[in-house]
A and B are shown apart, each in its own frame.
Chain A
Amino acid sequence: MAIEVHGVNKSFGTTPVLREVSVDIASGSLTALLGPSGGGKSTLLRVIAGLEQPDTGTVVISGVDATRLSPQRRNVGFVFQHYAAFKHMTVYGNVAFGLEVRKRPKAEVRKRVAELLELVHLEQLADRYPAQLSGGQRQRMALARALAVEPQVLLLDEPFGALDAQVRKELRTWLRRLHDEVHVTTVFVTHDQEEAMDVADEIVVLAGGVVEQVGSPHEVYDNPANPFVMSFLGPVTRLDGHLVRPHDIEVSATEQPGSRAATVVRVVRLGFEVRIETRVDGEDVWAQVTRGSAEHLTLDPGDTVYLRPVSHARTLAAA
């Protein structure tokens, strides 16, 4: 295990932020800490980096108890949401910083920085200052800076949070590829479930300072441990007192075994997918079907349809 967090508690004043948090992160993995704002994910990341001290519990990095080590001695790379660029240094100076404070020979520093700038596609901008870069470029510079010192683990706090949607998508594909190239154990914080599922091998769902579930994107999506995880990771609707994914609801024009009669309220076309909003016994239920099957059904508001979960659907009793 690259990182073992055990029984960590942390409060700010009287507000508990992390409660008995234990997480193991495998070497070489790309893990997402996913959860709503204020769920404690950034605090957990900062505890791993040594930027916050846990009240109780331990943090082991690569087999060494790091709980009382200063951030300076943990050999972790940390990328801040707002980049924390050294404003008075050039891109080159920023990336070289960690090597320079380690008193590495000049020639080695130059070579390593050149390699890293190439890796993050900033080799043309080495002499620029952070103020002259775009958000995405600054974030890549921050990443190169963190990687320069060959950290045992790379920690990213909402790395794409401050970027616009387009750049965000590009950067996350790029991060995935980078990780496949560099293989450093990486943990990133996000509140965006799509981002977590797109990029991570492993997802840790944190809410209210508690680990709700740990698993692969596939596991947490298809086998959520509880209603919270289920509704946080994807769309859900309620049918017969159970939570179901709307794409797991079968819509038919005729009654089927185990189906419920529903009245169509609205049919919304969102490109490829069609959203059918219905009412069942006074409760709103919606189903997501493909355009093909919607056209086949020819639905109009007021029609009666029959709904049931598809046979392989994973449902949870609603809390």
Chain B
Amino acid sequence: MARYPLRAVALLYLLFLLVLPVGLIAWRTFEHGLGPFVTALRSPSAVHAFEVTLSVAVWAVVANTVFGVGAAILLVRHEFPGKRILGALVDLPLAVSPVVVGLALILIYGRFAPVGGWLERHGVQIIFSLPGMVLATVFVSLPLVVRAVVPVLEELGQEQEQAAHTLGASRWQTFRRITIPGIKSALGYGVVLCLARALGEYGALAVVSGRLVGQTQTLTLFVEERFQNFDQPAAFAAATALALIAVLTLLLTRFLRPKD
């Protein structure tokens, strides 16, 4: 009966890796009841961090959904030179460390870089402001929608789309009425994964945001900054809030995962 020792090892492993740390955060957050938790999250800088996180995540999800569906259709339905390069590029963000992403963006869009300098003279600031943070988040969550949609699009095949064409549907009508409903649940799954990744991003944002409290501070940056300043109640409250959001999105993905 090797089953029981194996189970015990697995449970113990998860206990120390996952359950204890998360449980402790929850315990520290709520040890004096719900009141301090609510108060900590209602401080102006926390509320602002929530708002920044939300707008960065929403823009990143919108960009990655549009790009993801487009790239998936290109990769599955079309033959063109450079297709394999596109496929490899889409996966690149999985391999590159977010900190490197942040530094790379500063090299291009920073105030003293050619592109960034030109944009700055035209009144657009990328680095240390929202556009740069959206760019960084888009980069790190790029493959999620594409990789969720590609296999379903492949399985769907082209016949339904061709049938729609012969019935007089335009490309757009076919896309809207046949392709989108066909990939709906996979797309939803990809979008939720992308949202979860965007909400939890830290490394790339730490570099490109400049960590300006009350300006470019997201929730993850807020947790780190409060912790460094010995404001543990606020750090734990925000961390718990992030964990709760993560659990919520996890439940959503369960619900949306394409059934096979």
Contact = CB atoms under 8 A, between A and B. Distances in A.
Interface of A: 49-51, 70-78, 80, 82, 84-88, 97-98, 101-102, 142, 145-146, 148-149
Contacts of B164: 86, 97, 101
B166 to A, nearest CB: 4
A101 B182 contact: no
B131 to A, nearest CB: 38
A84 B158 CA distance: 9
Q: Which 8 A-B pairs have the closest CB atoms?
A: A98-B167, A84-B159, A84-B163, A78-B166, A71-B165, A88-B181, A101-B169, A71-B166
Contacts of A146: 166-167
B182 A87 contact: yes
Nearest to A98: B167
A85 B167 CA distance: 12
Contacts, number: 65
Contacts of B169: 72, 97-98, 101
B167 A51 contact: no
Contact of A74 (B166, B173, B181, B182): B166
B165 A70 contact: yes
Contact of A71 (B159, B162, B177, B181): B162
A84 to B, nearest CB: 4
Contact of A101 (B160, B162, B167): B167
A98 B168 contact: yes
Interface string B61-99: 000000000000000000000000000000000000000
Interface string B108-139: 00000000000000000000000000000000
B47 interface: no
Nearest to B181: A88
A59 B73 CA distance: 30
Nearest to A142: B163
Contacts of A78: 162-163, 166
A306 to B, nearest CB: 56
The size class of the interface chain B forms with chain A is 10 to 19
A29 B170 CA distance: 29
Contacts of A87: 160, 182
A71 B173 CA distance: 14
A77 B163 CA distance: 9
A101 B166 contact: no
Nearest to B184: A88
B178 interface: yes
Nearest to A155: B166
Given A77-B167, A102-B168, 19 more contacts: A50-B166, A70-B165, A71-B162, A72-B165, A77-B166, A82-B159, A84-B160, A84-B163, A86-B163, A87-B160, A88-B181, A88-B182, A88-B184, A98-B169, A101-B168, A101-B169, A101-B173, A145-B167, A149-B168
Contacts of A97: 164, 167, 169, 177
B83 to A, nearest CB: 16
29 contacts: A49-B166, A51-B166, A71-B166, A72-B165, A76-B166, A78-B162, A78-B163, A78-B166, A80-B159, A84-B160, A84-B162, A85-B160, A86-B163, A86-B164, A87-B182, A88-B182, A97-B164, A97-B167, A97-B169, A97-B177, A98-B167, A101-B167, A101-B169, A101-B173, A101-B177, A145-B167, A146-B166, A149-B167, A149-B168
A51 B162 contact: yes
A142 B160 CA distance: 11
Contact of A86 (B166, B168, B178): B178
A78 B162 CA distance: 9
A76 B166 CA distance: 6
Interface string B164-205: 111111100100011001101000000000000000000000
Contacts of B181: 88
Contacts of B168: 72-73, 75, 98, 101-102, 149
Contacts of A98: 167-169
Nearest to A157: B159
Contacts of A49: 166
Contacts of A84: 159-160, 162-163
A133 B170 CA distance: 28
B182 A72 contact: no
Contacts of B173: 101
A87 B173 CA distance: 16
B180 to A, nearest CB: 10
A176 B53 CA distance: 65
Nearest to A148: B167
